[in-house]
Structure 1
């Protein structure tokens, strides 16, 4: 499912002395089936744009087209329930949204809210728990008796139980250790392919952008500053620094190598790309 913004503006508390322009003239498309990273420094407008992806916020001006549904400033809130089933948002620290007495009931809540029978919803809950890599024995446990990582996976299972076509991830690895972050990101990558999802990742982790995304949107001061592939975005370190953004660790290391005289046709983003580039240079040097 593609999402298209056309001349979108958004103002908090319009018509009051506290009016704040958060988005200005947003024209961008999140392609169907893409893994899109949304990046920008704090206050750039990422969170506001994110909430337009399933009409939690409606544009003050312009239109947001989600699949075949067009959202305008005049769109009625009562007509948006079905849309929100198709775009699932995993908010930062999603485990804080758990509330039911058992894991099964928490995951089943969404499907039941959209009309599924209790039996069908509980079956979906069991399927989704397995999908996020947790054992069925946890279904009858209280979610609050689980580890932090398990709680987060249960919350994600609850979003997946709605069978969304678009999965929006808002800093999904915040607070996790490096191994936990890797496991979580690999899980999302697997889910994307298995369920043919469009994924939108909001993150400050440039390594995750380099390793997983195929499309990047850079925001600055409520506007779209640049779009492109990760390879295109990370080829201009000076531009990124001017917009208060960093580089993937491998790219930053490659820059250090360049200062020592090693040249690259293009800056590598991942360890594999760096290894291949160095092997090519060493191979050429020995011929």
Structure 2
């Protein structure tokens, strides 16, 4: 299911002293099956764009097409339930939204709210706990007795229990330690690769963009500044610096090596790429020094 923005603008509190521009003339497509990263400095419009992906916000102007459904400024707020089932949203620190007495009931709440019978919703909860890598014995525990990382997995399991086609993630690893961050990103990779789920992720972690995404959207002041593959986006370090954006750690290291005489045919984005490129060059470098 593709999601397409056609000349979309959004204004907060129009006609009031607090009026502010969230998006301005944005046109882009998030293709079905893609892993899209959305980046940009604070206030660039990332969160506003996310909330258009399942019609939590409607455009002030333009059209957002979600699958075969068009959302316009005139769209009635009723009958949007189907969209919100297909596009699952995981907001920052989703564990703060847990509230049920047990993990199983919390995960099952969303499907039941959308009309899934209780028995089926409870069965989904069992499967989702396994899918997100939690032991089965957490099902009967209070979510508030779990660790922070486990609570986040429960919250994500609740979204996945809705069986969405698109999973939207707002800073999904915020506040996690390095091990927890890697485990969380591995989960999203499995969902993308094994189930063909479309992933849309807002992040400030450029390493995650380089390692996982195949499409990048750069926002600036509510406008689309650039889009492309990670390699295309990170190929211009000066442009990224001017936009107050960083580089993946590996790419930063490669830039330092270039200053020492190394040459790369293309920008290395991951550790494996850098290692392979260095292996091809190091023997000649060593030989030069011996001479």
User: 2:102: which partner in 1?
Assistant: 102
Q: Does 1:233 align with 2:233?
A: yes
Q: Does 1:90 align with 2:90?
A: yes
User: 1:244: which partner in 2?
Assistant: 244
Shift of 1:64: 0.2
Distance 2:148 2:251 in 1: 32
Shift of 1:280: 1.6
Secondary structure of the residue that 1:26 maps to in structure 2? strand
Q: How many residues end up aligned between the 2 structures?
A: 287
Cα deviations across residues 11-51 of structure 1 (Å, max 9, x unaligned)?
00012222111100000000110000000000000000000
Distance 1:90 1:209 in 2: 18
User: 2:258: which partner in 1?
Assistant: 258
Distance 1:201 1:17 in 2: 32
Shift of 1:117: 1.0
5+ residue gaps, structure 2:
none
User: 1:112: which partner in 2?
Assistant: 112
Mapping for residues 86-165 of structure 1, pairs under 5 Å: 86-165=86-165
Shift of 1:283: 5.1
Cα RMSD after superposing both structures: 1.1
Distance 1:106 1:60 in 2: 35
Shift of 1:135: 1.2
Which segment is superposed worse, 188-197 or 40-49? 188-197
Shift of 1:277: 0.7
Cα deviations across residues 139-191 of structure 1 (Å, max 9, x unaligned)?
11100000101100000000000000000010000001111101100111001
User: 1:68: which partner in 2?
Assistant: 68
5+ residue gaps, structure 1:
none
**TM-score of the superposed pair, with normalisation by structure 2:** 0.97
Distance 1:163 1:284 in 2: 53
Distance 2:254 2:48 in 1: 34
User: 2:81: which partner in 1?
Assistant: 81
**TM-score of the superposed pair, with normalisation by structure 1:** 0.98
User: 1:49: which partner in 2?
Assistant: 49
User: 2:11: which partner in 1?
Assistant: 11
